[in-house]
Structure 1
Amino acid sequence: MQLVLEFLALPFVQDVLKILFILLLFAMPLGTFMTLMERKWSAAVQDRIGPNRANIGSYRGRGLLHIAADALKSIFKEDLIPKGADKFLYTIAPFFSFMSAVAVFAIIPIAGPIGDFKFQVTDVQPGLLFIFAITSLGVYGAVLAGASSNSKFALFGGTRASAQMISYEVFLGLSLMGLFMVYGSTQVSAIVEGQGEHWFGLIPKWGVFTQPLGFVVFFTALIAETKRAPFDAPEGESEIVAGYFVEYSGMRWSSFMLAEYIAIVGVAALITTLFFGGYQVPWLYHWESAPQWLVTLLQFSKFATFTFIFCWFQIQIRWTVPKFRFDQTMALGWKKLLPVALLNTVVTAIIIVALA
Structure 2
Amino acid sequence: MLDTVLRCVATLVVFLVLPLVIGQTEHKVMAHMQGRLGPMYAGGFHGWAQLVADGVKFAQKEDIVPAGADRRVFQLAPAVSLLPYLFVLLAIPVGPDGFVGQAIDAGLFFVLAVMGVAVIGKLMAGWASANKFSLLGGLRTAAQLMSYELPMVLAAASVAMAAGTLSLPGILDAWQWYWLPWQIIGGFVFFTAGLAELQRPPFDMPIADSEIIFGAYTEYTGLRFAFFLLSEYAGILVVSALTAVLFLGGWHGPMADQLGWLWMLLKTFALAFVVIWLRVTYPRLREDQLMRFAWVALVPLALGQLALTGIIKVAIA
Instruction: Report the TM range for the smaller structure's normalisation.
Output: over 0.9
* Residue aligning to 2:185: 213
Q: Using the alignment, how far apart are the partners of 2:262 and 2:32 within structure 1?
A: 27
Q: Which is worse superposed, 41-50 or 101-110?
A: 41-50
Matches for 1:255-294 after TM superposition, within 5 Å: 255-282=227-254, 284=255
* Residue aligning to 1:136: 116
Matches for 1:158-237 after TM superposition, within 5 Å: 158-195=138-175, 197=176, 204-205=177-178, 207-237=179-209
Q: Using the alignment, how far apart are the partners of 1:219 and 1:91 within structure 2?
A: 30
Letter in 2 for 1:340: L
Whether 1:28 and 2:16 are equivalent positions in the alignment is: yes
Whether 1:320 and 2:281 are equivalent positions in the alignment is: yes
* Residue aligning to 2:56: 72
Say if 2:241 and 2:268, in contact at 8 Å, map to a contact too. Answer: yes
Q: Using the alignment, how far apart are the partners of 1:16 and 1:154 within structure 2?
A: 39
* Residue aligning to 2:308: 347
* Residue aligning to 2:8: 19
Q: Using the alignment, how far apart are the partners of 2:271 and 2:221 within structure 1?
A: 30
Q: Deviations over 1:51-107 (max 9, x none)?
A: 14433xxxx232121211211221121000011100000000001110122222111
Unaligned runs of 5+ in 1: 1-10, 198-203, 286-294
Matches for 1:94-133 after TM superposition, within 5 Å: 94-113=78-97, 118-133=98-113
Say if 1:102 and 1:263, in contact at 8 Å, map to a contact too. Answer: no
Say if 1:40 and 1:50, in contact at 8 Å, map to a contact too. Answer: no
**Greater Rg by CA:** 1
Q: Using the alignment, how far apart are the partners of 1:143 and 1:38 within structure 2?
A: 26
Q: Which is worse superposed, 86-95 or 267-276?
A: 267-276
Q: Using the alignment, how far apart are the partners of 1:354 and 1:155 within structure 2?
A: 50
Letter in 2 for 1:335: V
Q: Using the alignment, how far apart are the partners of 2:63 and 2:52 within structure 1?
A: 19
Say if 1:33 and 1:67, in contact at 8 Å, map to a contact too. Answer: no
What is the DSSP-based 3-state SS (H/G/I as helix, E as strand, rest coil) of the residue aligned with 2:39?
coil
- Please point out which of 75, 84, 91 is paired with 1:91: 75
Q: Deviations over 1:272-325 (max 9, x none)?
A: 11111111224x48xxxxxxxxx43x1111111111111111100111012111
- Please point out which of 223, 227, 246 is paired with 1:251: 223
Q: How many residues align?
A: 317
Say if 1:39 and 1:50, in contact at 8 Å, map to a contact too. Answer: no
Say if 2:31 and 2:40, in contact at 8 Å, map to a contact too. Answer: no
- Please point out which of 150, 153, 156 is paired with 2:130: 150
Q: Using the alignment, how far apart are the partners of 1:313 and 1:343 within structure 2?
A: 25
Letter in 2 for 1:101: Y
Letter in 2 for 1:79: D
* Residue aligning to 2:271: 310
Say if 1:214 and 1:341, in contact at 8 Å, map to a contact too. Answer: yes
- In the TM superposition, residue 184 of structure 1 has moved relative to its aligned partner by 0.6
* Residue aligning to 1:291: none
Letter in 2 for 1:78: E
Q: Using the alignment, how far apart are the partners of 1:188 and 1:276 within structure 2?
A: 13
Say if 1:15 and 1:121, in contact at 8 Å, map to a contact too. Answer: yes
Q: Using the alignment, how far apart are the partners of 1:322 and 1:34 within structure 2?
A: 21
Unaligned runs of 5+ in 2: none
What is the DSSP-based 3-state SS (H/G/I as helix, E as strand, rest coil) of the residue aligned with 1:150?
coil
Q: Using the alignment, how far apart are the partners of 1:330 and 1:16 within structure 2?
A: 43
- In the TM superposition, residue 16 of structure 1 has moved relative to its aligned partner by 2.2
Using the size of structure 2 for normalisation, the TM-score is 0.96
Using the size of structure 1 for normalisation, the TM-score is 0.85
Matches for 1:35-54 after TM superposition, within 5 Å: 35-54=23-42
Letter in 2 for 1:216: F
Q: Using the alignment, how far apart are the partners of 1:98 and 1:136 within structure 2?
A: 12
Q: Deviations over 1:195-245 (max 9, x none)?
A: 2x4xxxxxx24x533412111111111111110100000101110010001
Letter in 2 for 1:319: V
Whichever structure has more helix as a proportion of its residues is 2
